[in-house]
Amino acid sequence: MNRRLKRWGIALGIAIVVITPVVILARHWMDASTTGSVHTGGAAASDPNALATPPPTPPTITSAYFTATLPSGFTLKRQTTPPSGSGTTLLQVLATSAGTSDQQLAITVGRLPSSGLSAVGDYNLRRTQTSTYRGLNLASAPVGATAFQTISGAPAFNVFSTQGGRYVEVSLSTAGGATLAQLESSYQQLRAQWQD
């Protein structure tokens, strides 16, 4: 009987040693099959346009002075209206574009000094520093506006216009990712949606 118990013990031990890994592998295999990459419904992964989302609608700037839609690809970063009586600046807007064009758009609305645009510091600087700035002809600029572009370095330009007792300065620049033509295109998009 001792021999029989010994054989049964050995057989049981072998069974445990053999069956345990088989059970573990089977359970692992069954669990892994539910976490694979099989997708049901929806678009096929081989169609690159099927999962694409439409581009977001560019933000609209609404103020007491103008309404405009930003050019496509731009994000509004800041729109501030200083408290009344705190100086000449009435509104400041900053927007940037992402990606390879790397553009910055700034809009400033201010009180026009009694002596006109020549008394506005940014305008006067660009008008008098002819070694740094030169005039720029932009067909999309408002009637009577004056534009200046930088002569060297990364492309940039500023457009100055007046609206009654206010001036508007629109600046477009890049850290080097955009060309002057791309900046002008962004300005054209902005002006196409601009309402005073």
pLDDT digit string (tens) for 30-50? 554 444 444 444 444 455 555
Token pair listed for 148: 């200046």
Q: Taking 80 as the threshold, does the pLDDT of residue 96 lie above it?
A: yes
The neighbouring-strand residues paired with 75 are 96
Please report the pLDDT score of residue 65 as a whole number.
Answer: 93
Question: Which amino acid would we find at residue 15?
Answer: A
107 neighbors 119 (Cβ within 8 angstroms): no
Please report the pLDDT score of residue 135 as a whole number.
Answer: 97
Please report the pLDDT score of residue 86 as a whole number.
Answer: 73
Counts of helices then strands in the chain (DSSP H, E): 3, 9
126 neighbors 158 (Cβ within 8 angstroms): yes
> Tell me: the pLDDT tens digits for 105-149?
999 999 999 999 999 999 999 999 999 999 999 999 999 999 999
Please report the pLDDT score of residue 35 as a whole number.
Answer: 42
Instruction: Specify the DSSP class assigned to residue 195.
Output: B
Q: What are residue 49's phi and psi, to 5 degrees? A: -90, -15
| 12 or 185: which leads in pLDDT | 185
Residue 11 — very low, low, confident or very high, per pLDDT cuts 50/70/90?
A: low
Please report the pLDDT score of residue 36 as a whole number.
Answer: 42
Please report the pLDDT score of residue 134 as a whole number.
Answer: 97
What's the angle, vertex CA 145, arms to CA 194 and CA 193, rounded to 5? Answer: 10
135 neighbors 148 (Cβ within 8 angstroms): yes
Please report the pLDDT score of residue 21 as a whole number.
Answer: 52
Region 80-94: what's the mean pLDDT? 87
Please report the pLDDT score of residue 10 as a whole number.
Answer: 73
Question: Which amino acid would we find at residue 193?
Answer: Q
The region of weakest confidence among 11-20, 94-103, 148-157 is 11-20
Question: Which amino acid would we find at residue 81?
Answer: T
Cβ neighbours of 157 (radius 10 Å): 22
Virtual torsion, Cα 40, 43, 45, 50, nearest 10 deg: -160
| 59 or 83: which leads in pLDDT | 59
> Tell me: the pLDDT tens digits for 134-191?
999 999 999 999 999 999 999 999 999 999 899 999 999 998 889 999 999 999 999 9
Residue 26 burial (10 A CB sphere; 0-12, 13-18, 19+): exposed
